[in-house]
């Protein structure tokens, strides 16, 4: 018979060795789980778009699958004689087998369901990930049951498992950002994850046959001692329904803060592809270390001591709430002197408290009997439900109604109410302290929330240049992103330069010669599509084109139109009868509207190194764009000087020309007509004013300078303000890769 551990949490040698083995396996299993999440989400976003509706549907599908799996795992774990380790091993192996073929399944289903609505997107995403995510969610209650039957301490067992698995997931995030996605691409990353799952599965099966089985009675099978189903450490301090509410509240607040932190870090780091996994990895690392700290606290905490348990949870809630609320304002203050990477270790610290709470709540509410796994699964599901509601309400509703500081203040006040209430009900002696802490926290945060954040976006945007930089005079926040305008009239979308509000070709601050050149290569561009508004300057050039009869404009960020409405050079876009503005993801809209055909497609695409830029720069998207061009149609898009983008365009299309730092492509020969272009430019009347005053010598000279660019096509040069034909591009860029949805060359590999 194996003796029971003491209340200090010490574990006999045999149980300690099995805990180390299972801890190692569960650590490794966290790695493929996060690799799948990163890759599968990208794959589903590529199919259904990265507009907020699709993102929400996909993320919610993942969370729902984990919750259902946890319930199933909890139900299985309570069965007498159920082979826990064998089940764990088989589940991991099945996840791996699915992983090997997952991307092919996603692509097949995606191609067959292109016209899916938002609701259908969520349903389809759930259908595609429900099996593997359910298996992932089932493993925690199953392994918790196995360990608790030996340790007799719910908090300690759950804490160590939560720690190792979450730490493995955090490690996967860092490895994905630094090495894996860059070197293996999407399919290679999934293959690695699947191989790890299969190996873990085999090890789990081996452990089933090598370790002594543990029965449902809390001791080893065959023992003469039978447990009575009660916890050796006393009756739980919290009723399970109360604990479920606490677990849900913890999930709601923690996920809501995570969304705010991801948004702030993405803004400050200019939207690099590695930003999300690095921040997520830091958040998960904090959760992991918090779980380890929670394990230590649980080993000294008697769950029967209701007052002390509630006080402990209440104090932890208040501390973590203060740290979480202070994170972004603190980062915005010190980032003027340090790199933005300082936010990552600070996120680890802020998230640690959230990791403490889950094992604490479980320890206070779950008896170490034969139903431990099932009860833990209930808490896990409650936490997931709260997390999902937090994700949906914050990312989908609050961000459209409130600003960053207001949401942070709302969460901080909610957390203060949560923690203060626990102190108030702990016992009579703690009520004065609880009331004082609660009142102070609500007053401090409620009245100081806006002041604490101050000019946060200006500090995060300009960092070390902030003291002398132009001041931010306009901030528009929505669920689609953050747009800021400084006093010089420069727009920054998501923390990245998006241009000036100008349609002036004489003093061309936006290099508008690029969209203007459409008429040099197309005789009659009557139907045109613009993807990406930016400042609206490119779109205004297209909308005011003398030959344009209909112009569709697709923009994913609703904040852009709000800003454009107040900018004189471009605001007429919103009332132009030829213009139709569509709020959607560009690639998604094209897939859903195969009937839409255009003479010209113009894209003022973002920097090639930003997250999800592959969606508009890959060879797959260029093929999609080809399907929407009328005979003789052309496409022009901003390559942001990326040679890999040049190479991809020249490889997909038989006719291609580099235009300054953009690419012009077509399936028909691209032959410029200088005389026609001159005639069209002179007919331009943006808002009734000509582009060029031919009575002004400077204007006449500028017109000739612009027109002369077509002469450089015969004498190609890679310099700015020149044209370069396809043959020259392919000759000098022969060793550059072609961007695909799999290799994401400009995002993760950062190939220029």
Task: Examine the fold and report which residue of 188, 221, 254 is the final residue of a domain before the chain moves on.
Answer: 221
SS3 472: strand
CA 665 to chain centre: 32
- Report the CATH number at residue 135: 1.20.1250.20
Structural domain count, the chain: 4
Summarised one tens digit per residue, pLDDT across range 473-485 is: 999 998 888 999 9
Closest by CA position to 402, among listed 326, 478, 299, 510: 478
CA distance 155 to 300: 10
Give yes or no for residue 9 having a pLDDT over 60. no
Largest Cα–Cα distance in the chain?
Answer: 106
User: What pLDDT score was predicted for residue 317?
Assistant: 87
Summarised one tens digit per residue, pLDDT across range 235-245 is: 677 788 888 99
CA distance 65 to 129: 7
Q: Is residue 724 included in any domain, yes or no?
A: yes
CB 513 within 8 A of CB 522: no
Q: Is residue 5 included in any domain, yes or no?
A: no
Are 161 and 184 in the same domain? yes
Q: Which residues, listed in sequence order, are joined to residue 656 by a DSSP beta bridge?
A: 665
Distances (CA, A) of 19 to 144, 211, 215, 698: 10, 11, 16, 80
Interval 513-528 mean pLDDT? 95
User: What pLDDT score was predicted for residue 11?
Assistant: 45
| Burial class (CB within 10 angstroms; exposed 0-12, middle 13-18, buried 19+) of 283 | buried
Bridging pattern class, strands 662-666 and 655-659:
antiparallel
Are 91 and 183 in the same domain? yes
User: What pLDDT score was predicted for residue 285?
Assistant: 94
Are 488 and 530 in the same domain? no
Interval 700-706 mean pLDDT? 94
Q: What is the DSSP string of 343-411?
A: HHHHHHHHHHHHHHHHHHHHHHH--SSTTHHHHHHHHHHHHHHHHHHHHHIIIIIIHHHS-HHHHHHHH
Are 211 and 323 in the same domain? no
User: What tokens were used for 165?
Assistant: 């698995």
CA distance 408 to 445: 9
Give yes or no for residue 6 having a pLDDT over 60. no
- Report the CATH number at residue 509: 3.40.50.150
CA distance 351 to 217: 36
CA distance 142 to 73: 6
pTM, rounded to two decimals: 0.86
Q: What angle do CA 688, 691, 697 make, to 5 degrees?
A: 130
Distances (CA, A) of 646 to 541, 640, 733: 23, 10, 8
Are 525 and 494 in the same domain? no
Which residues have a Cβ under 8 Å from the Cβ of 584 and sit 6 or more positions away? 49, 51, 554, 556
Interval 60-68 mean pLDDT? 81
Summarised one tens digit per residue, pLDDT across range 305-344 is: 778 888 888 888 888 888 999 999 999 999 988 889 999 9
User: What pLDDT score was predicted for residue 17?
Assistant: 63
Are 478 and 453 in the same domain? no
Q: Is residue 750 included in any domain, yes or no?
A: no
Q: Is residue 743 included in any domain, yes or no?
A: no
Q: Is residue 57 included in any domain, yes or no?
A: yes
- Report the CATH number at residue 310: 1.20.1250
Give yes or no for residue 710 having a pLDDT over 70. yes
Q: Is residue 752 included in any domain, yes or no?
A: no
CA distance 670 to 657: 8
Summarised one tens digit per residue, pLDDT across range 347-374 is: 999 999 898 988 888 888 887 777 777 8
Containing domain of residue 535, as a range? 502-732
Are 690 and 727 in the same domain? yes
Q: Is residue 703 included in any domain, yes or no?
A: yes
Closest by CA position to 424, among listed 441, 446, 407: 441
Are 430 and 469 in the same domain? no
Are 192 and 331 in the same domain? no
The share of the chain scoring above pLDDT 70, in percent, equals 87
Are 305 and 185 in the same domain? no
Task: Examine the fold and report which residue of 449, 473, 498 is the final residue of a domain before the chain moves on.
Answer: 498
Q: Outline where 428-475 has alpha helix (H).
A: 431-453, 456-462
Are 110 and 214 in the same domain? yes
Q: Is residue 745 included in any domain, yes or no?
A: no
How many other CB atoms are there within 10 angstroms of residue 83's CB atom?
16
How many other CB atoms are there within 10 angstroms of residue 187's CB atom?
17
Mean of per-residue pLDDT scores for the chain: 85
User: What pLDDT score was predicted for residue 549?
Assistant: 95
Residue 178 is classified by DSSP as I
Give yes or no for residue 218 having a pLDDT over 50. no
Q: Please count the residues of the chain.
A: 752
Task: Examine the fold and report which residue of 405, 437, 461 is the final residue of a domain before the chain moves on.
Answer: 461
Which residues have a Cβ under 8 Å from the Cβ of 374 and sit 6 or more positions away? 74, 75, 77, 78, 141
Q: Outline where 152-180 has alpha helix (H).
A: 154-175
Are 285 and 401 in the same domain? yes
User: What tokens were used for 639?
Assistant: 């390559």
């Amino acid at each position: 018979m194996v003796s029971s551990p003491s209340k200090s949490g010490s574990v006999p040698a045999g149980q300690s060795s099995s805990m180390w083995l299972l801890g190692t396996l569960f650590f490794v299993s966290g790695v493929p789980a996060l690799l799948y999440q990163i890759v599968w989400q990208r794959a589903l976003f590529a199919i259904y778009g990265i507009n907020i509706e699709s993102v929400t549907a996909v993320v919610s599908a993942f969370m729902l699958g984990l919750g259902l799996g946890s319930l199933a795992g909890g139900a299985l774990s309570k069965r007498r004689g159920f082979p826990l380790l064998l089940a764990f091993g088989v589940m991991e192996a099945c996840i791996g087998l699915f992983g090997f073929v997952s991307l092919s399944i996603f692509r097949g289903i995606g191609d067959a369901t292109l016209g899916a609505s938002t609701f259908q997107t969520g349903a389809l995403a759930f259908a595609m990930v429900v099996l593997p995510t359910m298996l992932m969610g089932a493993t925690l209650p199953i392994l918790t049951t196995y360990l608790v039957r030996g340790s007799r301490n719910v908090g300690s067992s759950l804490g160590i498992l939560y720690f190792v698995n979450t730490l493995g997931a955090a490690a996967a995030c860092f490895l994905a950002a630094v090495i894996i996605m860059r070197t293996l691409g999407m399919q290679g990353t999934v293959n690695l994850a699947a191989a790890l799952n299969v190996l873990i599965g085999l090890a789990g099966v081996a452990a089933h046959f090598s370790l002594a089985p543990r029965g449902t009675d809390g001791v080893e099978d065959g023992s003469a001692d039978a447990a009575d189903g009660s916890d050796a450490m006393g009756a739980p301090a919290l009723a399970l329904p109360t604990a479920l509410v606490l677990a849900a509240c913890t999930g709601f607040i923690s996920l809501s803060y995570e969304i705010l932190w991801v948004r702030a870090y993405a803004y400050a780091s200019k939207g690099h592809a590695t930003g999300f996994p690095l921040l997520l990895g830091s958040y998960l690392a904090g959760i992991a270390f918090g779980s380890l700290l929670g394990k230590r606290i649980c080993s000294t905490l008697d769950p029967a001591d209701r007052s002390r348990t509630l006080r402990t949870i209440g104090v932890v809630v208040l501390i973590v709430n203060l740290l979480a609320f202070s994170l972004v304002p603190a980062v915005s203050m010190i980032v003027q002197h340090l790199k933005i990477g300082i936010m990552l270790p600070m996120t680890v610290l802020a998230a640690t408290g959230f990791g403490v709470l889950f094992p604490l709540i479980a320890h206070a509410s779950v008896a170490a009997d034969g139903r431990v796994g099932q009860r833990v699964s209930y808490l896990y599901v409650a936490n997931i439900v709260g997390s999902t509601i937090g994700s949906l309400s914050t990312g989908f509703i609050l961000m459209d109604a409130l600003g960053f500081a207001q949401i942070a203040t709302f969460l901080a006040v909610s957390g203060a109410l949560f923690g203060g209430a626990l102190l108030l009900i702990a016992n009579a002696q703690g009520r004065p302290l609880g009331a004082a802490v609660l009142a102070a926290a609500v007053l401090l945060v409620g009245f100081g929330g806006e002041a604490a954040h101050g000019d946060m976006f200006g500090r995060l945007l300009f960092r070390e240049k902030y003291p002398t930089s132009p001041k931010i005079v306009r901030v528009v926040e929505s669920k689609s992103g953050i747009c800021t305008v400084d006093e010089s009239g420069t727009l920054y979308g998501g923390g990245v330069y998006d241009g000036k509000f100008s349609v002036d070709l004489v003093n061309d601050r936006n290099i508008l010669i690029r969209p203007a050149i459409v008429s040099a290569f197309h005789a009659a561009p009557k139907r045109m599509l613009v993807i990406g508004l930016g400042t609206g300057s490119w779109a205004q050039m297209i909308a005011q084109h003398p030959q344009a009869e209909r112009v569709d404009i697709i923009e994913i960020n609703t904040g852009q139109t709000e800003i454009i409405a107040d900018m004189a050079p471009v605001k007429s876009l919103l009332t132009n009868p030829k213009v139709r503005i569509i709020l959607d993801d560009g690639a998604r809209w094209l897939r859903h509207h195969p009937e839409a055909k255009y003479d010209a497609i113009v894209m003022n695409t973002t920097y090639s190194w930003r997250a999800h830029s592959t969606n508009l720069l890959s060879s797959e998207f260029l093929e999609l764009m080809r399907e929407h061009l009328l005979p003789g149609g052309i496409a022009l898009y901003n390559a942001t000087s990326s040679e890999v983008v040049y190479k991809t365009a020249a490889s997909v299309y038989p006719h291609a020309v580099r235009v300054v730092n953009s690419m012009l492509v077509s399936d028909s020969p691209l032959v410029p007509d200088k005389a026609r272009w001159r005639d069209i430019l002179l007919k331009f009347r943006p808002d009734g004013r000509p582009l060029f005053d031919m009575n002004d010598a400077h204007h006449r000279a500028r017109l000739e300078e612009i027109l002369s660019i077509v002469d450089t096509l015969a004498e190609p040069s890679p310099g700015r303000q020149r044209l370069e034909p396809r043959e020259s591009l392919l000759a000098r860029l022969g060793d550059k890769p072609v961007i695909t949805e799999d290799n994401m060359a400009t995002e993760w590999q950062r190939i220029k």
